[in-house]
Amino acid sequence: MKVAVVGTGYVGLVAGACLAEIGHEVTCVDNDATKIALLNDGGLPIYEPGLEDLVPKNVEAGRLSFQTDLAAAVRAAEIVFIAVGTPPGADGSADLRAVEAVAEGIADALDGYKVVGVKSTVPIGTCERVRAIIASRSKQHFDVVSNPEFLREGVAVPDFLRPDRVILGCAADEARERMERLYAPLTDAGARLITMDLRSAELTKYASNAMLATRISFMNEVANLCEEVGADVESVREGMGSDKRIGPYFLRAGLGYGGSCFPKDVKALLRTAQTYDTPLRLLEAVEQTNASQKERMAAVLLNEMGADLSGRIVAVWGLAFKPDTDDMREAPSIPLIRALAQAGAAVHVHDPAAMHTAREALGDLPRYFEDPYACVEGAAALVLVTEWSLYAAPDWARIAATVVEGRVYDGRNLWSPAEVRAAGLTYRGIGRR
């Protein structure tokens, strides 16, 4: 099938490359000419494992192309996906200007029946708004479907190619049949396609992310209680996760969630609930817990090391909000580094992928190191923020020889406390005994 994907961010680029991989002819469109030029030159505007192989492979096969001409892409396509950003506004609601602008562009280019699929994460009722915009500008026959994505940054490619489910909000038989043909290579391989109405599909996306955010915040509160009562959150997590009704996923304590999805989607869902005068009090608490959790590690360091860190180095391993991405949006490393710098510390940082995006977020506030061991030389403390596999089994003897005060703070409970202490270092995790 011929497909146009509007937007070449995390959602659009991954969707476009993966749809090409399963055999469709895909044109990715973006109004950022610099980004399109980069893609046409063989570069990638984002770091996402798997894309470095998938994109050139499908470009060479003639199934994937990039351009700025929205009208031409729409006219050539059977299905047009809207996959542009919906950043939060000042009140937490999703900014839909980009979605609406694309809808206008699609309407002006329609020359026959098209299915317009909304992959952007949008508030309830947005697909109806898209339909109204197009109908007000075009007399052509079309249908709008909601087809939210459920891609995790860092594993987005396998998530798309081997999904738990494909959600389709759709009322028209013609549109549903076309979407079923699009996803046939995935459903034939065992993926489940779930069809529902537009508003239910839109809410499914928000509710899914809100549930995962709730699990994270719940375990962070349990971890904080563990520290007070002398329990170990890793033992608690194992005991809870072995219950089939609960399961082990998203139960790891840490420094709070970040990224482009959970914070934005929680805020947007709360804003929608306020609009309909139906408060989501549990979700309000989830957001508050996450905000306080991001500040907790800095408070622990300042309590143990003193409020004035002038003349002392604190090394931070990991900057991105999670491993296998360069995304710094809402990353817990940002408030931590700012708090340490405000206390007078010289903050040394390392990340295998997010150094360039960290510079955009933090400027010259920390000092950046290309080598993780050079980063910790002369440091009073080492803080792990992001659980990259690179950091999973460090040389503790080497670290002990260079971390002058021997302090190790494990913000993701990645390391064995016994191994750290055996090297002569002090260990502090999240909710660990």
185 and 308 in a single domain? The answer is no
269-276 long-range Cβ contacts below 8 angstroms, 24+ apart: 269/206, 269/207, 269/210, 270/92, 271/91, 271/92, 271/93, 271/94, 271/123, 272/93, 272/123, 272/124, 272/206
Residue 76 confidence (pLDDT): 98
Q: Which of 149, 91, 142, 89 lies closest to 120 in space, CA to CA?
A: 149
140 and 260 in a single domain? The answer is no
| Predicted confidence (pLDDT) at residue 89 exceeds the cutoff of 90 | no
267 and 127 in a single domain? The answer is no
pLDDT bucket at 275, cuts 50 / 70 / 90 = very high
DSSP H helices in 69-197: 70-76, 97-109, 126-137, 156-161, 173-182, 184-187
pLDDT bucket at 319, cuts 50 / 70 / 90 = very high
43 and 192 in a single domain? The answer is yes
Residue 421 confidence (pLDDT): 97
Q: Which of 303, 283, 315 lies closest to 227 in space, CA to CA?
A: 303
Residue 136 confidence (pLDDT): 98
In a domain, 13, yes or no: yes
Residue 70 confidence (pLDDT): 98
Active site annotation includes 375:
no
| Predicted confidence (pLDDT) at residue 94 exceeds the cutoff of 90 | no
> pLDDT by residue (tens digit) across 109-137?
999 999 999 999 999 999 999 999 999 99
In a domain, 204, yes or no: no
| Predicted confidence (pLDDT) at residue 260 exceeds the cutoff of 90 | no
In a domain, 22, yes or no: yes
Total domain count for the chain?
2
Residue 292 confidence (pLDDT): 97
Please give the residue range of the domain that contains residue 263.
241-428
| Predicted confidence (pLDDT) at residue 93 exceeds the cutoff of 90 | no
Residue ending a domain, choose from 139, 161, 196 = 196
Residue 91 confidence (pLDDT): 83
Residue 92 confidence (pLDDT): 82
292 and 380 in a single domain? The answer is yes
> pLDDT by residue (tens digit) across 372-414?
999 999 999 999 999 999 999 999 999 999 999 999 999 999 9
In a domain, 31, yes or no: yes
Q: What is the DSSP string of 364-423?
A: TSSEE-SSHHHHHTT-SEEEE-S--GGGSS--HHHHHTT-TT-EEEETT--S-HHHHHHT
In a domain, 416, yes or no: yes
Percentage of the chain beyond pLDDT 70 is 100
pLDDT bucket at 239, cuts 50 / 70 / 90 = very high
> pLDDT by residue (tens digit) across 152-211?
999 999 999 999 999 999 989 999 999 999 999 999 999 999 999 999 999 999 999 999
> pLDDT by residue (tens digit) across 402-411?
999 999 999 9
Mean residue pLDDT across the chain:
96
CATH number at residue 100: 3.40.50.720
304 and 374 in a single domain? The answer is yes
Q: Which of 18, 170, 226, 261 is catalytic?
A: 261
Residue 433 confidence (pLDDT): 83
168 and 266 in a single domain? The answer is no
